[in-house]
Structure 1
Amino acid sequence: MNAKVHKLLITPIKFCVLNSKLWIEFLTLLSQELSMEHFVVSARKYRPQTFKDVVGQQAITNTLLNAIENNHLAQALLFTGPRGVGKTTCARILAKMINSDGSETGDEDFAFNIFELDAASNNSVDDIRNLTDQVRIPPQVGKYKVYIIDEVHMLSQAAFNAFLKTLEEPPKHCIFILATTEKHKIIPTILSRCQIFDFKRITVKDAKEYLKYIAEEQAIKADDDALHIIAQKADGAMRDALSIFDRVVSFSGKNLTRQAVTENLNVLDYETYFESTDLILENKIPDLLLQFNNTLSKGFDGHHYIAGLASHFRDLLVSKTPETIELLEVGDQTKEKYLKQSKKTSQEFLMQGINLANDCDLKYKTSKNQRLLVELCLMQLASITFDGEKKNSKHYIIPASYFKNKGITPIPVNIPKPKENSNVASAELKEEKLKISTASKTSNIEAFQVKEPPKIVLKQETKRTSGLSLSSIRAKKEHLIKQMDVVIDEEDLPKEAFTENELISTWNNYIEEIRKKGKHNLASILSIDTPKVTKTTINLVFPNETNKIEVERQQYDLLSYIRKSLNNYEISLSITINEVMEKQYAYSTIEKFEKLKEKNANIDLLRKAFDLDV
């Protein structure tokens, strides 16, 4: 109370009556004091007093009403759900209703029968023991003692265990109502003893309608889109929606506009995304980047922008089908804008746009250059519908210049139209087609006359690889693939007969040629064994796998040389490995000496003459 009013109150009445001026001042100050009201936030001022006032929980409130009317109410209830959806409010309304018999006054709240316990600060075993001691005492007024334990998941493990017996078999006059936002943290033994009610999030539509009711109660003029943004920002919590409503009203006064709400809540307006989509559809990449820069300069996050753009594309996709328009949670004015812009976009564009924006959203947190990531995504979005000078290469017409470069003169074709019901016209048409076919064949023969004998186009290996390296193993695999790359010009190839002596002579000539080219390693390998012929197959035996791989890598040149020399294109190569032969070549020092002595017996005389050791 005002100190001056308090001072006037303790002033003797007689003095006030004698001093009329002081008396008038007293009455004026007292009226001003009484007219001043303490501000109460909307979340408390408009807290529901009955189940009918609860927003968005009709299924739960109807169930509780029927349970009360039919005397079928459980003694342990668990209210679970997200914050601000009415769990504690419903618990208080229920506690008041079960104690009411119709003879009470309107302001009766049964405070002596309702006990609220905050489990966040009273979570020990001693707190639960004090609770169980109070439960035994019956109520003095009303029928039931109701214990509302809020945030029950905060109880300790020992407190839960101490509460089990009382919760399972409470006295007849006692009802427990547990409330929590995290049901998964409650032990199963508690859950099994309770009747569980799952509260759902408040829909945007329900929250907007309730905010509209409150705005009318407070004589506030509010735009439909403004209330929708507040309801959407609350994310399903009615208490949050009312808190945001009070904040915005304090900012803008009695006139609540969409612009004031977006400015105060620091949210991106729908107009930003409508403008961005228009720029994307028009392929205006510079203007799109400038708009994104302007958005960042206002303090918005790039992650928020690109996530909102993906949601905007989703809303446009929903707007394209009449059956899914109900999924569009926006105001009526904004819905018309969505329907108008959805007609400009195709379903393929929206699906690809959602994919690109969502991919950018996932990569945003791990990106080191987040702005560049969003700008790149915007440029890709603006390029979806950009054709430029791209041409479809699947269907094309060969220009006349192509034939001129090839030395081919196109023949103009004039096919007369057949006359109806005329055999003569059909005969003339067949004769004309025959002439065209003959002329076309003659032209093709002249243009593509074969001047060289048939040959085999062979692909040569340009890089040499050691047989012991990893690349040689890869080369062996490539060899199997390259065997299919041989292109044969003609099917009728020469197959002249030849003798084994002719083959050996050609074989030795090839070894001399490659030795002159510096391929000493291959020449020495080919000299290891004398080739033997079985029909048209050349059989070779090598001491190890390395020699085989090396020859197989070079067999194209070898076979080409032999086939041309012997004029037989059916000649093939077969290589086997003889382990005994390999062992023979892996000799010791004495074996080397014996091998040299076979080639030149004078080596043994040299050893004896100089008394040398092997």
Structure 2
Amino acid sequence: MEPFVVSARKYRPQTFKDVVGQQAITNTLLHAIESNHLAQALLFCGPRGVGKTTCARILAKNINQDGTQKEDEDFAFNIFELDAASNNSVDDIRNLTDQVRIPPQVGKYKVYIIDEVHMLSQSAFNAFLKTLEEPPKHAIFILATTEKHKIIPTILSRCQIFDFKRITVKDATDYLKYIAENQGIVAEDDALQIIAQKADGAMRDALSIFDRVVSFSGKNLTRKAVTENLNVLDYDTYFEATDLILKHDIPRLLILFNKTLALGFDGHHFISGLASHFRDLMVSQHQQTIELLEVGETAKQQYLEQSKKSSSRFLLQAIDIANDCDLKYRTSKNQRLLVELTLMKLASIDFDGQKKNPESLALANNTVDLVPASYFKEEVSETLPIATPQEEKITEQEVIPTTSPEEKTEPLLEKQEAPKLISEEEPLNTVPSSPSIQVAVPEAKPETKKININVPAKKVSGLSLSSLKAKKEHQLNKKEVKFDPDQLPKSLFTEEEMLQHWKDFVETIDAKGQKILASNLSADTPKLRNENTLWLEMPNSTMKTEIEREQYELMEYLKLKLNNYHIRLKITVNETTAKKFAFTPEEKYEKLREKNPAIDLLRKEFDLDL
């Protein structure tokens, strides 16, 4: 049985044409040999496993070929390799310089390959300077290093520098496919793609991973086998997570993250991979950037399909949120909670069910009607030909803007002839803004009945200068509403009807995402008192304050549904229930003192403070 040879040695390139991903450097070296323009000191620098030592050996072999040698001639007597990691003293460099003086026995050049040259000591570098600057005509030095910045400038200035680049994922995948075909291995493109990505630009690492995965899965190399052996998260995990994020399904998203942790992956790996997934989705949205997607054909189709479901705005926000979590992960004390919070934020992007802030209505040029349009229809329809709320109109001559309450409309009414309706396209709420508006409704009697309409002011947030300015301007244009409360509808209703509409309202806001308000409203069953008063009892003042702050929408809903605009809501706090819970340090101390009065003596004795 023949001994096993790893692929990194078995498939080491023997010619410049076999070198993967370094065409610019190999072409330069070939032209230099052909034109006899090769420098006597070369420095090959770049990351590990990209072909520095391999190119040095191929170059050492090619420069001695004159066409008369045998095919298997490797000129081993003319090539000297020195590992600077273990031979880094001044004595080692002195022995090297003594050998340089002796000319080659076979061939034209003696080639000295010094690997990991950055490991030489400072004194060894200095001892090497003179020989490197003026070597014999038959000597060529090839220095190789992965850390170019550690080499002293005097050495760099004496060398012709070649910077090797990382092997691209595409080049590494093509070479792995070539090796798999030579070995009779059936490999999926996605499997080889994952191996190439895991290698991170190093061909030697890619070949080592390839050998390991082949030993695990045999002659059939699948994506699933590669992900299991390399302990990497499969694309399917990120595709599933993105689908759940787009559906705003937070519970299943957290369960998926928990399964990922159970498989042995840490949260940092998961969130950084998710950020890369969002990046791949973004480059999949444009035809010009699809080439930046370094995945197999099968995975590419999945990316193209999912990218159609996502907007560029969503992906940009998602990348920003995931990247922020990636930066904070190392310093976080509760790393799992950080990732879970990030996932919840991602699932809340573009979520329409969240509670809207009514204070932003003024800046958005939106107003809220305090009195429904149906009320004006009922009152004015006696004298004006108004059919439905949608077709509600008022006449041009009946709407009289004034600048102060002292001005009267009787003289103007005397000059009016017949009522003239505004065009049907102009609804009631499009009356031009003015400090106040008076609507004159003619009756059968010669007297004129006036109804002062107050248009509600827009609410403005005070968080910025622009909002303050908008608020000031809005206050100047604010219109006051004056109406007779007795004119509002006051239909009778039963407590069962009220409870049914109350329940419908709670279900509506719960579906819209206002979970806190829905929970507070469900804490107690309202009771009908004095025909129009709804009594609600809360266990604490915090819940009472929350409901009072948000009661406008609730009351408008009930008034409209019950056709009664005299309904009032009265909220009380059950002191007995509230005392059961202690929230502040003072309340907690009082409860402790009630249980054991001696604790007050302890506080006074040691002069303790809360």
Query: What is the distance in 2 between the residues matched to 1:300 and 1:126?
Result: 50
Is structure 2 residue 334 aligned with structure 1 residue 369?
yes
1:398 deviates by 3.6
Map residues 111-150 of structure 1 onto 2, 5 A cutoff.
111-150=76-115
Q: Which residue of the partner structure matches residue 194 of structure 2?
A: 229
Query: What is the distance in 2 between the residues matched to 1:430 and 1:92?
Result: 104
1:395 deviates by 5.5
Q: Is the CA contact (8 Å cut-off) linking 1:403 and 1:410 kept in structure 2? A: no
Residue identity opposite 1:174 in structure 2: A
Map residues 210-609 of structure 1 onto 2, 5 A cutoff.
210-388=175-353, 390-391=355-356, 393=361, 394=364, 396=366, 398-399=368-369, 401=371, 414=393, 432=421, 441=438
1:443 deviates by 5.1
Residue identity opposite 1:232 in structure 2: Q
Residue identity opposite 2:16 in structure 1: F
1:107 deviates by 1.5
Question: Which of 166, 169, 172 is the aligned partner of 2:137?
Answer: 172
Residue identity opposite 1:154 in structure 2: M
Q: Which residue of the partner structure matches residue 44 of structure 1?
A: 9
Query: What is the distance in 1 between the residues matched to 2:417 and 2:202?
Result: 87
Change (3 A) 1:410 1:127: farther
The alignment's TM-score, normalised by the length of structure 1, stands at 0.63
Q: Tell me the secondary structure at the aligned position of residue 77 of structure 1.
A: strand
Query: What is the distance in 2 between the residues matched to 1:320 and 1:383?
Result: 22
1:399 deviates by 3.4
Query: What is the distance in 1 between the residues matched to 2:368 and 2:31?
Result: 82
Query: What is the distance in 2 between the residues matched to 1:442 and 1:103?
Result: 114
Question: Which of 86, 107, 113 is the aligned partner of 2:72?
Answer: 107
1:389 deviates by 5.7
The alignment's TM-score, normalised by the length of structure 2, stands at 0.63
Query: What is the distance in 2 between the residues matched to 1:97 and 1:245?
Result: 30
Consecutive unaligned residues of structure 1, counting only runs of 5 or more, are 1-35, 418-426, 450-483, 490-614
Change (3 A) 1:488 1:178: closer
Q: Which residue of the partner structure matches residue 501 of structure 2?
A: none
Change (3 A) 1:430 1:51: farther
Q: Is the CA contact (8 Å cut-off) linking 1:153 and 1:182 kept in structure 2? A: yes
Residue identity opposite 1:122 in structure 2: N
Query: What is the distance in 2 between the residues matched to 1:110 and 1:275?
Result: 57
Q: Is the CA contact (8 Å cut-off) linking 1:283 and 1:385 kept in structure 2? A: no
Q: Tell me the secondary structure at the aligned position of residue 106 of structure 2.
A: coil
The percent of aligned pairs where both chains have the same amino acid is 74
Residue identity opposite 1:401 in structure 2: V
Is structure 2 residue 150 aligned with structure 1 residue 185?
yes
Query: What is the distance in 2 between the residues matched to 1:227 and 1:429?
Result: 87
Residue identity opposite 1:55 in structure 2: V
Q: Tell me the secondary structure at the aligned position of residue 176 of structure 1.
A: strand
Change (3 A) 1:410 1:399: farther
1:133 deviates by 0.5
1:386 deviates by 1.8
Query: What is the distance in 1 between the residues matched to 2:93 and 2:308?
Result: 63
Change (3 A) 1:324 1:428: farther
Change (3 A) 1:429 1:345: farther
Query: What is the distance in 2 between the residues matched to 1:347 and 1:43?
Result: 42
Residue identity opposite 2:320 in structure 1: N
Consecutive unaligned residues of structure 2, counting only runs of 5 or more, are 387-391, 397-415, 424-430, 442-448, 454-471, 478-610
Residue identity opposite 1:244 in structure 2: I
Query: What is the distance in 2 between the residues matched to 1:290 and 1:404?
Result: 50
Q: Is the CA contact (8 Å cut-off) linking 2:53 and 2:144 kept in structure 1? A: yes
Please report the RMSD computed on the Cα atoms of aligned residues, expressed in angstroms. Answer: 3.2
Query: What is the distance in 2 between the residues matched to 1:334 and 1:410?
Result: 67
Residue identity opposite 1:366 in structure 2: T
Is structure 2 residue 163 aligned with structure 1 residue 163?
no
Query: What is the distance in 2 between the residues matched to 1:404 and 1:70?
Result: 96
Q: Tell me the secondary structure at the aligned position of residue 79 of structure 1.
A: strand
1:312 deviates by 0.2
Change (3 A) 1:279 1:134: same
1:101 deviates by 1.0
Encode CA deviations 1:50-84: one digit per residue, 9 max, x unaligned. 00000000000000000000000000000000000
Residue identity opposite 1:253 in structure 2: G
Q: Is the CA contact (8 Å cut-off) linking 1:360 and 1:373 kept in structure 2? A: yes
Question: Which of 79, 84, 103 is the aligned partner of 2:49?
Answer: 84
Q: Is the CA contact (8 Å cut-off) linking 2:439 and 2:452 kept in structure 1? A: no
Query: What is the distance in 2 between the residues matched to 1:389 and 1:158?
Result: 69
Q: Tell me the secondary structure at the aligned position of residue 276 of structure 1.
A: helix
Query: What is the distance in 2 between the residues matched to 1:54 and 1:488?
Result: 78
Query: What is the distance in 2 between the residues matched to 1:440 and 1:145?
Result: 104
Query: What is the distance in 2 between the residues matched to 1:217 and 1:243?
Result: 16
Residue identity opposite 2:6 in structure 1: V
Change (3 A) 1:410 1:338: farther
Encode CA deviations 1:283-321: one digit per residue, 9 max, x unaligned. 111110001000000000110000000000000000000
Query: What is the distance in 2 between the residues matched to 1:333 and 1:275?
Result: 16
Residue identity opposite 1:52 in structure 2: K
Q: Which residue of the partner structure matches residue 31 of structure 1?
A: none
Q: Tell me the secondary structure at the aligned position of residue 161 of structure 2.
A: strand
1:332 deviates by 0.5
Q: Which residue of the partner structure matches residue 479 of structure 1?
A: none
Q: Is the CA contact (8 Å cut-off) linking 1:416 and 1:429 kept in structure 2? A: no
1:414 deviates by 3.5
Change (3 A) 1:141 1:410: farther
Query: What is the distance in 1 between the residues matched to 2:178 and 2:374?
Result: 83
